[in-house]
């Protein structure tokens, strides 16, 4: 067998290996998303139930916390995880639980608080670019509504102000001038190198 044929077979073999690896990675990502979606649904059901129970059945002698005194530490605990509420994006049919803290495990289940608080109008939320998570936030247009509901079942409605793409390593840019916006949402772009970022402002009712 001459060297040309040997090299040709090696190249074909390497090509097959690369394809199998790629298929394996895609398959693993799909499996991870499906498992995360199952957990998200379960957590959302429990979260909404607990929030409703907290509102409809306050504990004896419990003092209702005024909005000005509420903090990010006001949470609902589910399976040992603290959740500050949930976020809804009606135009994209998205509803995600928002955990107080963030890490890779929590990001599989829903969105996470990256920084700030809805009570201080500087909340920053992140989520994976899974299809039912933040994959489609790039489609949001100026004026589209985003709603955050806290553990007291109080909802804050925001309007999309603008979008930007930020370098994945530039953490300072993500929170720079964060007080200019009341809510920031971001997720990885498909390359993983940058972050699709949506800036929102609190919607003011005409009666206010």
Looking at residue 96, what is its pLDDT?
96
Kindly indicate the confidence band of residue 207, based on its pLDDT and cuts at 50, 70 and 90.
Answer: very low
Residue 28, domain member (yes or no): no
Kindly indicate the confidence band of residue 173, based on its pLDDT and cuts at 50, 70 and 90.
Answer: confident
| Residue 144: domain span | 51-202
| Cα angle for residues 27, 31, 35 (degrees, 5° grid) | 175
Residue 206 pLDDT > 50: no
pLDDT tens by residue, 105-163: 899 999 999 999 998 899 999 999 988 899 999 999 999 999 999 998 989 999 999 99
Residue 3, domain member (yes or no): no
Domain count, the chain: 1
Write out the chain in H/E/C secondary structure. CCHHHHHHHHHHHHHHHHHHHHHHHHHHHHHHHHHHHHHHHHHHHHHHHHHHHHHHCCCCCCCCCCHHHCCCCCCEEECCEEEEEEEEEHHHCEEEEEECCCCHHHHHHCEEEEECCHHHCCEEEECCCCCCCCCCHHHCCCCCEEEEEECCCCEEEEEEEEEEEEECCCHHHHHCCHHHCCEEEEEECCCCCEEEEEEEEECCCCCC
User: What pTM was estimated for this model as a whole?
Assistant: 0.77
Residue 87, domain member (yes or no): yes
Task: Look up 126 and say whether it is catalytic.
Answer: no
Catalytic option among 75, 112, 126, 128: 128
Task: Look up 128 and say whether it is catalytic.
Answer: yes
Residue 139, domain member (yes or no): yes
Residue 97, domain member (yes or no): yes
Residue 133, domain member (yes or no): yes
Residue 17, domain member (yes or no): no
**CATH number of domain containing 124:** 2.40.260.10
Please tell me which of 12-16, 30-34, 48-52 the model is most confident about, judged by mean pLDDT: 48-52
pLDDT tens by residue, 48-72: 998 888 766 554 444 444 554 555 5
Catalytic option among 75, 112, 126, 188: 188
Q: Name the residue with higher pLDDT: 169 or 95.
A: 95
Residue 38, domain member (yes or no): no
């Amino acid at each position: 067998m001459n060297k040309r044929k040997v090299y040709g077979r090696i190249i074909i073999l390497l090509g097959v290996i690369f394809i199998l690896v790629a298929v394996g990675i895609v398959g693993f990502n799909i499996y991870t998303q499906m498992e995360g979606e199952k957990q998200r649904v379960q957590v959302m059901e429990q979260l909404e139930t607990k929030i409703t129970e907290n509102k409809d059945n306050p504990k004896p002698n419990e003092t209702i916390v005024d909005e000005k005194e509420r903090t990010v530490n006001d949470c609902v605990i589910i399976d040992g995880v603290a959740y500050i509420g949930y976020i809804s994006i009606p135009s994209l049919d998205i509803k995600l639980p928002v955990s107080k803290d963030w890490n890779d495990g929590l990001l599989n289940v829903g969105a996470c608080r990256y920084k700030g608080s809805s009570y201080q109008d500087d909340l920053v939320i992140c989520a994976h670019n899974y299809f039912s998570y933040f994959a489609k936030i790039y489609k949001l247009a100026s004026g589209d509504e985003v709603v955050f509901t806290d553990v007291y079942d109080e909802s804050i409605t925001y309007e999309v102000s603008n979008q930007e793409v930020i370098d994945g390593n530039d953490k300072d840019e993500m929170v720079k001038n964060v007080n200019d916006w009341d809510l920031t949402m971001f997720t990885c772009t498909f390359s993983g190198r940058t972050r699709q970022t949506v800036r929102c402002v609190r919607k003011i009712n005409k009666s206010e």
